[in-house]
Amino acid sequence: MTTRRVVVTGVGVVAPCGVGADAFFEGLCSTPPDGPRQVTDFDPAAHFDNPKEARRADRFTQFAVAAAAEALAQAGELDADPTRCGTFIGTGVGGIQTLEAQIQVRLERGARRVSPFLVPMMMANAAAATLSMRYGWQGPAENTVTACAAGTHAVGNAARLVASGRCDVMLAGGSEAPFTETAIAGFSNMTALSSSGISRPFDAERDGFVMGEGAAVLVLEERERALARGATVLAEIAGSASTADAHHITAPAPGGSGAVHCMELALADAGLAAADIVHVNAHGTSTDLNDAAEAEALAKVFGAPGPIVTSTKGVTGHALGAAGALEAAAVVLSMVKGVIPPTAGTRAVDPTLPELDLVVGEPRAWTPGPSISNSFGFGGHNGTLVVVPPA
């Protein structure tokens, strides 16, 4: 059990459906396009001091910088000891765009033409390190690389640093920019991508995920400190958990056993019972095995139909290591706005799945209550966050 309460005082988002938290949430409640979900209206130069600095950051780092700046602007003046402030930014593939581009440079122009900035740009910890240097924060600057659970794990790990007393403030989230020819070919050849170009979580006709990109960053603070400085508390990170399926490199454990264990541990960490949960932001990738395993896991933990469920990947696509951070942001914003976005793209819920109270069609008004956000990644990584309204 945690010893200090951890609250969210800022949210920043860069997503295909909107740059900025408000635009992001509006996009979650709108009709998504077909095909890959890329961020088309992002100007990195607007978020760096000069064009050279922007060019020396991979796109995934650029996204994190923009999201963090928005989150900090909302949080207000922190006036915190920099040695007690840290960064924790998850990613699945890090600076893969830089890596692929520089491999091409070597093949076409020779090894001596490879950029000396290749390594610091491609490093998976580049976003966390960049943020720590940008703000002079001298506490932990770390990252998680746990495939599609990385964003969720980063928020959970950062919250523990605050709860334990090691840090007072953390920038936590995930960032991903995976659109390279090789990455797309790899996912396509393993038949993970949707052949229709439509993300349909839990739908009878789901046929794979639609790739996405983006970033979300939360400002996490110790609750009493946030209240003392007059900050607006948006939500509280009440608990989290991480488990492994130990089953298969890509397929989930049969019956969602690892997911069940993860959700149960997260509830215990939060001091809540399954009956307390009123909303689940599902991992819901629109792949056959993962959606089936998650639906079964939800039924085992909460019964059927259980809490209100949505998957925002119908709009955002699957942003890999940033997915969990985007979904944590979606849960916080759902609490702030009193609305749960629908599971876009889903028309007919698969009748072979356990019954779910899935939000489809239109957004659903709700009275915010304890919620969980799930992430499950290749390699058998499971992550769950428990988020509760401010109190």
318 a catalytic residue = yes
Task: Identify the three-state secondary structure at position 342.
Answer: coil
Tokens read off for 333: 């914003």
CA angle 366, 210, 360 (to 5 degrees): 25
Tell me the CA distances in angstroms from 27 to 19, 70, 92, one per residue in order: 10, 17, 24
Residue pair 31/80 in contact (Cβ under 8 Å)? The answer is no
Of 17, 47, 85, 148, catalytic: 148
Residue pair 299/306 in contact (Cβ under 8 Å)? The answer is yes
Q: Give CA–CA dist 119/135, Å, rounded.
A: 22
Q: What is the DSSP string of 187-240?
A: HHHTT-B-SSS---TTBTT---B-BB-EEEEEEEEEHHHHHHTTPPP-EEEEEE
Kindly report the length of the chain: 391
248 a catalytic residue = no
The C-alpha torsion from 148 through 152 and 154 to 159, rounded to 10°, is -170
Which residues are CB-neighbours of 99 under 8 A, at least 6 positions away? 118, 122
148 a catalytic residue = yes
Backbone phi, psi, residue 348, to 5°: -135, 110
Backbone phi, psi, residue 8, to 5°: -100, 125
45: how many CB neighbours lie within 10 A of its CB? 12
Alpha helices in the chain (DSSP H): 21-28, 51-55, 59-75, 96-109, 118-122, 126-135, 150-163, 181-189, 223-228, 257-270, 288-302, 313-316, 323-337
Q: Give CA–CA dist 30/336, Å, rounded.
A: 18
Compute the half-sphere exposure of residue 5: CA atoms within 13 Å on the CB side of its CA.
17
Of 153, 279, 318, 381, catalytic: 318
Instruction: Give the max Cα distance, the chain.
Output: 61
Active site positions, annotated: 148, 283, 318
